[in-house]
């Protein structure tokens, strides 16, 4: 919805952007996107069972690690399953993998850079975006993105992207981000296997994800994890 993007950019009262004010909103909307994708990643005829499983097995601390509002995500699944949200445990039941969360930040930064670059319709516009990209690095870092990676992503786009190319790139990176998060927001035994067995490709397509790619990657990772535990 282009008008939603243009309004705050063109509003003269926003001439002095404030990262401190903007960050909570960015985290909120990131959370809402993931929660919406999660609620629509499973077959409609098995929604209650899937949502109840998620409600019981999602981990607050692991969701926190992806800079999302943990209670919002978990409560959304519990409500969808028609059950009560489990209280947040006092002790940490899981440990954040900083390599995974860093990979998530990098993927989100590439997605942001591609979306930014896809708005250019001419080579001149692309050149301007690239020339000014260094000015935004520190602010993007403060927004919990990798500002340097955003800059390099923008500057690597040397020709205006077609609509199809832009949509494809956004879908690809959105799917990679979703896969990274959904695989790593629980530490219960058999989590990846359960995801492989229950994620629905058509349902994920309905919320802009590449359902086949997500499902294939999750099942591949589930098989690798099962093999690793067998040989350990």
Tell me: pLDDT of 90 over 80: no
Q: What is the pLDDT of residue 183?
A: 98
The answer to whether 91 and 147 are in contact (CB under 8 A) is: no
* Dihedral over Cα of 138, 141, 143, 146: its sign: positive
pLDDT at 87 over 70: no
Instruction: Report the chain's mean pLDDT, rounded to a whole number.
Output: 91
Please give the Cα distance from 19 to 143 (Å, whole number).
Answer: 7
When pLDDT is averaged across residues 199-209 and rounded to a whole number, the result is 96
Q: State the number of CA atoms in the 13 A half-sphere of 207 facing the CB.
A: 20
Adjacent-strand bridge partners of 42: 199
- Own/partner contacts of 190-193, CB < 8 Å, gap of 24 or more, are 191/57, 192/218, 192/221, 192/222, 192/225, 193/222, 193/225, 193/226
Q: Which residues contact 144 (CB under 8 A, 6 or more apart)?
A: 23, 26, 27, 67, 105
**Minimum mean pLDDT range among 13-22, 130-139, 157-166:** 13-22
pTM: 0.92
Question: Which of the pair, 190 or 86, is modelled with greater confidence?
Answer: 190
Note the pLDDT tens digit of each residue in 3-12: 888 887 787 6
Answer whether residue 221 shows pLDDT above 60: yes
- pLDDT greater than 80 at residue 16: no
List pLDDT tens digits, range 21-71: 889 999 999 999 999 999 999 988 888 899 999 999 999 999 999 999 999
pLDDT of 230 > 70? The answer is no
> What is the mean predicted confidence (pLDDT) over 75-86?
87
Q: CB-side exposure of 141: number of CA atoms within 13 Å?
A: 9
Q: Please, what's the largest Cα pairwise distance for the chain?
A: 62
What percent of the chain is modeled with pLDDT above 70?
Answer: 93
On the CB side of 178, CA atoms within 13 Å amount to 30
Which residue matches tokens 């440990």? 95
């Amino acid at each position: 919805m282009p008008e939603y993007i243009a309004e705050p950019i063109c509003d003269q009262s926003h001439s002095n952007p404030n990262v401190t004010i903007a960050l909570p909103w960015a985290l909120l909307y990131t959370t809402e996107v993931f929660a919406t994708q999660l609620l629509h990643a499973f077959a409609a005829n098995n929604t209650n069972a899937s949502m109840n499983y998620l409600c019981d097995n999602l981990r607050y601390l692991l969701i926190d690690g992806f800079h999302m509002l943990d209670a919002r995500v978990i409560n959304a699944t519990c409500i969808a399953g028609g059950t009560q949200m489990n209280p947040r445990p006092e002790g940490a039941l899981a440990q954040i993998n900083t390599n995974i969360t860093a990979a998530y930040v990098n993927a989100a930064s590439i997605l942001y850079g591609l979306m930014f670059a896809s708005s250019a319709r001419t080579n001149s516009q692309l050149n301007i975006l690239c020339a000014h990209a260094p000015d935004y690095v520190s602010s993007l870092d403060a927004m919990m993105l990798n500002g340097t990676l955003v800059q390099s992503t923008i500057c690597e786009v040397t020709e205006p992207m077609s609509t199809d190319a832009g949509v494809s790139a956004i879908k690809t990176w959105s799917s990679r981000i979703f896969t990274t998060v959904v695989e790593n927001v629980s530490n219960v035994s058999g989590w990846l296997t359960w995801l492989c067995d229950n994620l629905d490709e058509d349902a994920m397509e309905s919320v802009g994800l590449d359902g086949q790619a997500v499902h294939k990657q999750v099942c591949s990772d589930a098989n690798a994890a099962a093999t690793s535990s067998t040989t350990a």
